[in-house]
Structure 1
Amino acid sequence: MEETSDHPNPTTDTPGTTPEPDLETMRSSKPGLKRLLITTTVLFSFLSGLPFLWKSVEIYRSQLPFHDIDSLSDQVKSAPLRFPCTFHAVFVGFGSNDPDQLRSEIQDGVNQLIGESSQCGSCNVSISVTVQSPDELCSETFPSTCSYRCGVIKRDSFGRGLDDAVDESLDDVFSGCSGGIGKMYSVVVVNKENGDEVKAVVGKRRHAWIVGSGLEERFGEVVGRVSEVFVKVFMNGGREEGDSIRGEFMPVGSDGRLVLSFSLLNSNPRDWIYDWDFQRIDEALLAPVTKALAPIANISVESQVLYHTPKSSFSSWDEKLQSYIFRTSDLPFFVNSNEWHLDTSAGASGRSKILQFVVYIPSGKECPLHLQLPNEEISKTNGFISPMWGGVIVWNPRSCDKDSESPSTNTISPQDLEKIVEVFLGQFRQLFGFKSEATYTSELGSYKILPSERGFTEWELDVLSRKHTCFNLRSCATTLGSLSRLVQSLPRMIIKDEIGEQVKYSLKAAKLAQSNASLGGYSSSASSSREARSLAENAFFHPSIMSVSYFSYEHCFAVYSPFFLPVAGHVVLAALREWRRYKQEKAKYLTWLTRKKAA
């Protein structure tokens, strides 16, 4: 019989012996941390480098005052800017009229006219009235905005001299009137005893006068004309709403600069050659204009003489007029942009505005050359304007006989050159939205407007200052608002300190313009608003904004991921795998300890 013996089972617990571990579920030694520490050290070295990487790709952004920008935009949109204006009416030769009643009726007429065209740049009106009786006794409203010296204006002798002398005398009469806050405008109504017809004149300063007989009987008409002068002329500049050039078409660059480029074009120098003494005209006629418009624009003047500059359009011979004519339908094709090299200004920057004023001398084949109007009459100025571009004058030599084969250089006479510049000033006024003729006609009558040697009267300069201030502030608020939205929508856009300073100074200038406007400082508000718009444009079009160093988060990830993502992915996966392995091995060790304690 075969003998058998029982061999001990290594997996069976035997009293007094230590159980041997199952290698799949247990281990008898404690797992080491060396591999885990190595992988975690490599991982943390990558993580510690992330702040340095983020710092190296950080975009510098100057803090912009977004709240102040939004506040300026809301103010410009919700509360149109209005200027204080003081109106003073003097009625001479009126007996039984109450000044308070006159002021009330004038106020109603002004409010009605303002209500029809209330817009940015209009006036907060303050009206006062003085009534001087035929016995030179005065009564006035209280409080009065003007300390009028009673009896200074004599109704029998008023208006007998030249209109310019009357304007100067009224300026002396109202020289003691401060007008409180804002500019003071006056209208003098003189009721004469004789049978003179009604004459209405608007001076070149801030005064107007209406002279005639029987005005006291036509009380309603007189009040209506006074209200009309205050609103239609002094406030709106004699411009109808449909005829005036809107603010966005003001011929001033966004940087506040305006270049007046005068060009003398010799169409065919083989026929004749003309030159001009432009420096004398610049000093005598143009310098006062540029000085008067200094608060509105920084104006510079330049001139040039060009040769071989034919026009693009054709002219035809008119037997009746004995001249060559070109019609208004030919004006769009008159300027020859291929041959007229006018845009050669060295003083104009990128955002400056250039107005071209051209004197065109026709060749001998089309001399004399005249512009025929649609009513088949010949233009008195023989010129035309192109909005936002400039003006052209066709100047015909006194004699259309050609010179010799080698023509000598002729000089335009000072008298002809002065007439040319006067036409240019009329075109310049039209480009700013004013009428070239010296009259204003309405339903109540016509008004003669005295021209100024500076091209613009004082009340016209006030109108330009008010309108231009409003347009500049709107443009400034719009530009800064666009910059604010752009910066907030692109968090990786570079914003340098220079841009931040320009925005802050622009807001400061805009607030100063609003403050000056509320105090009646027309010129100072126009200058400040021009600076505010220029700084806002400089900030928006700063070269660094569209620099190649700008990139988004997606672009940053696409650039750096090929360098760091493959290695970082392996390191992270290795750390996770090692951490999982360490937990499993530790669990085996704990299981073995539990079995050991149970045995």
Structure 2
Amino acid sequence: MAEISKITDTATEAPPNNNTEKSKSPGEKPVQEDDLNKIRKTKPGSKRLLLTLTVLSSFILGFPFLLKSTEIFRSPLPFRAIDLLSNGLESNPLSLPCHFQAVFIGFNHVRSDESRAQELGFLISHKMREMTGNDPFCGGCGNDYTVSVTIDSDSGCIRNQNVKIFGNYENLCLWNCGEIDFSGFDVENDEEFDGILAKILRGNGACLASRVYSVVVMNKGGEDIRVVVGKHRHSWVLGSVSEADAVSLISKIFVKLYMNGGNEEGMVQGKGEFMPVGADGSVVISFSLLNSNPNDWVYDWDFRKIEESLLAPVVEALSPIANINVESQVLYHTPKSSFSYWDEKLASYVFSTKDLPFFVNSNEWHLDTSVAAAGRSKVLHFVVYIPSAKECPLLLKLPNGDVSTTNGFMSPMWGGITVWNPPSCVRDYQTTQPARNSFSPQDLQKVFQVFMGQLRLLFGLKSDNIRVVESGITSFLTSERGFAEWELDVLFRHHTCFNLRSCATTLGSLSRLVQSLPRMIIMDEIGKQVKFSLEAATLAQKNASLGMYEASAVSSRQARALAEDAFFHPSIMSLSYSSIEHYFAIYMPFFAPVLLHVLLAAIKELRRYKRERAKYFAWNASAKT
């Protein structure tokens, strides 16, 4: 056993490595293991690198598709056109052209040439510029007006020739000398004479669209001066008047009435913000008849007849500046909130102007029941308040101690209230059976005259033009429409300017908002509304430059309504738009971890490939040497 073990041990001894010994030639160093790792005899493969780069490139190429699939739709808006509209209205306030005509009848002059008419025209224009100043307000005539002077005397017809042509009707729109003999007419009958002048000055209908404002001065010796303002676009002065006084009167009428609408300061800047017209160009006029205590008496009215006979002409006259809807209601058990006291001198209950803020009882007066006043429409309330027997008659006492002739008051931007005392109103009135009554036509006429005065005040005009400041007007003729033609022209000009400025402001705000929020949704409908609004504003400016007041008012109202619709579009208030940081905060948790690992793997694989290729190039270079 010992021998066998010995033989086994001997056999297990490793034989000499002949290969190693053969490789060790004289003068050569042995090859170490580290040197073998630095040598690569085969060219490294690129499959792993291509696979990694393919995965990385798929992420990179897919990123634009991700942005495209998650982008917010934005309809292109004409930002430059919006800026041009805003800057144009800001630098050049809108002024509509006005044409004025002064006619002198019965003035005999030594000179029978055009120089006298030229001189009178210059004096009137100079006087008008002194009153208007050099800073024209928006919606007025500005300096874009002409003054024509015609002298109709025994020596002939003299007319100044340095005026612009009134549209295409130059001859028809000017006064035709000798066309009518005033001696055959009763000039004291204002209504009849107003119709005669309207027929003459309009040229049998040819000058209806030219907007020529005329003042006819008839010099008749020995008579007091009467100044009458017609319900169309003309006035007349009758009596013994000198040229200087005639020039002064004509200038005042042109500026204070036909330019400023009877207001001393004119339509001041910013007053349009308080006009009773909604942003969508519509107005709802709500008439309410309030029976304070129906146990005493109950009153009703036939509102259909009222609307057809009294309100229809008013609605038609104001249609260019507002889309008016009319409605009515009768309410019961509607006491007022303020208190009244008994006045022995007046033998009636009295409430003062200090009680007006507390007169409306918002808890009992359910006035806001209109279904037509949706969106941004404006509601004007006109209330007829019938007091109960315990406070009847009820009168409004003014601060100076007098009793109000209308027995009513108005609230800006809200409407007006009229207190109507029943004819059977007596103190300590008691009855077990309440009487049912209806308004008589005469009472309705009086009530609606008060309402018309309140409506005129709400639109910025005088209630009845009786107290026009320092104008020396003897009489104003009223129109069945509630507004004279020259008053409607003032409203059209003013509302055109206000609507265009409001349109430009709204579109400018929308433009700045859209540009500040790149992720805001802009639907095609908004883009169309902005486009149509700019087109309507451009059309309104064009019509205004041509003196087409109604058309410019309608176009400006549409421009403002479209701008408001675009700004308050429901999609703008969506929660889908946000900042770009919020956008990345949503998607980065999903893609950042995977993309980071793929990027690190690609970098690692690229480094490995470069290292292995360097080994191969090093071995290849050593093998060649």
Tell me if the contact between 1:13 and 1:19 (Cα under 8 Å) persists in the aligned partners.
no
Pairwise CA distance, 1:48: 2.8
Pairwise CA distance, 1:308: 1.6
What aligned pairs does 1:141-540 form with structure 2 within 5 A after superposition?
141-142=160-161, 145=170, 146-152=173-179, 154=181, 160-176=187-203, 182-194=210-222, 196-213=223-240, 215-216=241-242, 219-241=243-265, 246-401=271-426, 402=429, 404-443=431-470, 445-540=472-567
CA–CA separation in structure 1 for the residues paired with 2:67 and 2:23: 60
Partner residue in 1 for 2:83 = 70
Partner residue in 1 for 2:60 = 47
C-alpha change, 1:152 and 1:27, in structure 2 (3 Å) is: same
Q: What letter corresponds to residue 333 of structure 2 in structure 1?
A: H
Q: After superposition, what is the alpha-carbon deviation per residue over 1:79-137, rounded to whole angstroms, capped at 9, x for unaligned?
A: 1122121111111111117211111111111222222662122222111111122x373
Partner residue in 2 for 1:25 = 38
CA–CA separation in structure 2 for the residues paired with 1:356 and 1:491: 44
CA–CA separation in structure 2 for the residues paired with 1:58 and 1:364: 70
CA–CA separation in structure 1 for the residues paired with 2:602 and 2:437: 94
Partner residue in 2 for 1:115 = 133
Q: What letter corresponds to residue 505 of structure 1 in structure 2?
A: F
Bigger shift: residues 234-243 or 506-515: 234-243
Q: After superposition, what is the alpha-carbon deviation per residue over 1:156-196, rounded to whole angstroms, capped at 9, x for unaligned?
A: 566633211111111122122856984101101111122x2
Q: Which structure 2 segments of 5+ residues have no match? A: 1-17, 164-169
Partner residue in 2 for 1:128 = 148
CA–CA separation in structure 1 for the residues paired with 2:209 and 2:261: 20
Partner residue in 2 for 1:80 = 93
CA–CA separation in structure 2 for the residues paired with 1:523 and 1:514: 12
Q: What letter corresponds to residue 166 of structure 1 in structure 2?
A: F
C-alpha change, 1:366 and 1:23, in structure 2 (3 Å) is: farther
* Identical pairs, percent: 58
Tell me if the contact between 2:507 and 2:567 (Cα under 8 Å) persists in the aligned partners.
yes
Q: Does 1:597 align with 2:615?
A: no
Pairwise CA distance, 1:305: 0.9
What is the aligned-residue RMSD (CA, Å)? Answer: 2.6
Tell me if the contact between 1:462 and 1:522 (Cα under 8 Å) persists in the aligned partners.
yes
CA–CA separation in structure 1 for the residues paired with 2:311 and 2:26: 120
CA–CA separation in structure 1 for the residues paired with 2:211 and 2:280: 28
Pairwise CA distance, 1:340: 1.1
Q: What letter corresponds to residue 304 of structure 2 in structure 1?
A: Q
TM-score (norm 2): 0.89
Partner residue in 2 for 1:100 = 118
C-alpha change, 1:56 and 1:243, in structure 2 (3 Å) is: closer
Tell me if the contact between 1:182 and 1:519 (Cα under 8 Å) persists in the aligned partners.
no
CA–CA separation in structure 1 for the residues paired with 2:326 and 2:158: 51
Tell me if the contact between 2:152 and 2:178 (Cα under 8 Å) persists in the aligned partners.
yes
Tell me if the contact between 2:301 and 2:438 (Cα under 8 Å) persists in the aligned partners.
yes
CA–CA separation in structure 2 for the residues paired with 1:514 and 1:361: 48
CA–CA separation in structure 1 for the residues paired with 2:135 and 2:424: 51
Bigger shift: residues 107-116 or 462-471: 107-116
Tell me if the contact between 2:267 and 2:494 (Cα under 8 Å) persists in the aligned partners.
no
User: 3-state DSSP class of the match of 2:338?
Assistant: coil
C-alpha change, 1:82 and 1:193, in structure 2 (3 Å) is: same
Pairwise CA distance, 1:588: 2.5
C-alpha change, 1:274 and 1:22, in structure 2 (3 Å) is: same
Pairwise CA distance, 1:230: 0.8
C-alpha change, 1:10 and 1:322, in structure 2 (3 Å) is: farther
Pairwise CA distance, 1:446: 3.4
Q: What letter corresponds to residue 289 of structure 1 in structure 2?
A: V
Q: What letter corresponds to residue 73 of structure 1 in structure 2?
A: S
C-alpha change, 1:11 and 1:181, in structure 2 (3 Å) is: farther
Bigger shift: residues 300-309 or 88-97: 88-97
User: 3-state DSSP class of the match of 2:133?
Assistant: helix
C-alpha change, 1:211 and 1:595, in structure 2 (3 Å) is: same
C-alpha change, 1:594 and 1:17, in structure 2 (3 Å) is: farther
C-alpha change, 1:478 and 1:11, in structure 2 (3 Å) is: farther
CA–CA separation in structure 2 for the residues paired with 1:379 and 1:13: 138
CA–CA separation in structure 2 for the residues paired with 1:153 and 1:234: 25
Pairwise CA distance, 1:430: 0.4
Q: After superposition, what is the alpha-carbon deviation per residue over 1:347-397, rounded to whole angstroms, capped at 9, x for unaligned?
A: 112111110101111122211111000011110110000000100001111
Q: What letter corresponds to residue 372 of structure 2 in structure 1?
A: G
Within the candidate set 132, 146, 157, 1:138 is matched to: 157
TM-score (norm 1): 0.93
Pairwise CA distance, 1:53: 1.2
CA–CA separation in structure 2 for the residues paired with 1:65 and 1:11: 88
Pairwise CA distance, 1:246: 1.1
Structure (1 or 2) with the larger CA radius of gyration: 2
Tell me if the contact between 2:253 and 2:471 (Cα under 8 Å) persists in the aligned partners.
no
Pairwise CA distance, 1:461: 0.4
C-alpha change, 1:590 and 1:13, in structure 2 (3 Å) is: farther
User: 3-state DSSP class of the match of 1:263?
Assistant: strand
Tell me if the contact between 1:21 and 1:28 (Cα under 8 Å) persists in the aligned partners.
no
Q: After superposition, what is the alpha-carbon deviation per residue over 1:292-345, rounded to whole angstroms, capped at 9, x for unaligned?
A: 111111111000111121111111111111111110011111111122111111
Pairwise CA distance, 1:256: 0.6
User: 3-state DSSP class of the match of 2:35?
Assistant: coil
Q: What letter corresponds to residue 476 of structure 1 in structure 2?
A: C
What aligned pairs does 1:574-589 form with structure 2 within 5 A after superposition?
574-589=601-616
CA–CA separation in structure 1 for the residues paired with 2:498 and 2:473: 30
Tell me if the contact between 1:440 and 1:449 (Cα under 8 Å) persists in the aligned partners.
no
Pairwise CA distance, 1:220: 2.1
CA–CA separation in structure 2 for the residues paired with 1:91 and 1:12: 140
C-alpha change, 1:327 and 1:8, in structure 2 (3 Å) is: farther
Tell me if the contact between 2:101 and 2:147 (Cα under 8 Å) persists in the aligned partners.
yes
Pairwise CA distance, 1:422: 1.1
CA–CA separation in structure 2 for the residues paired with 1:107 and 1:432: 29
C-alpha change, 1:330 and 1:589, in structure 2 (3 Å) is: same
CA–CA separation in structure 1 for the residues paired with 2:396 and 2:341: 11
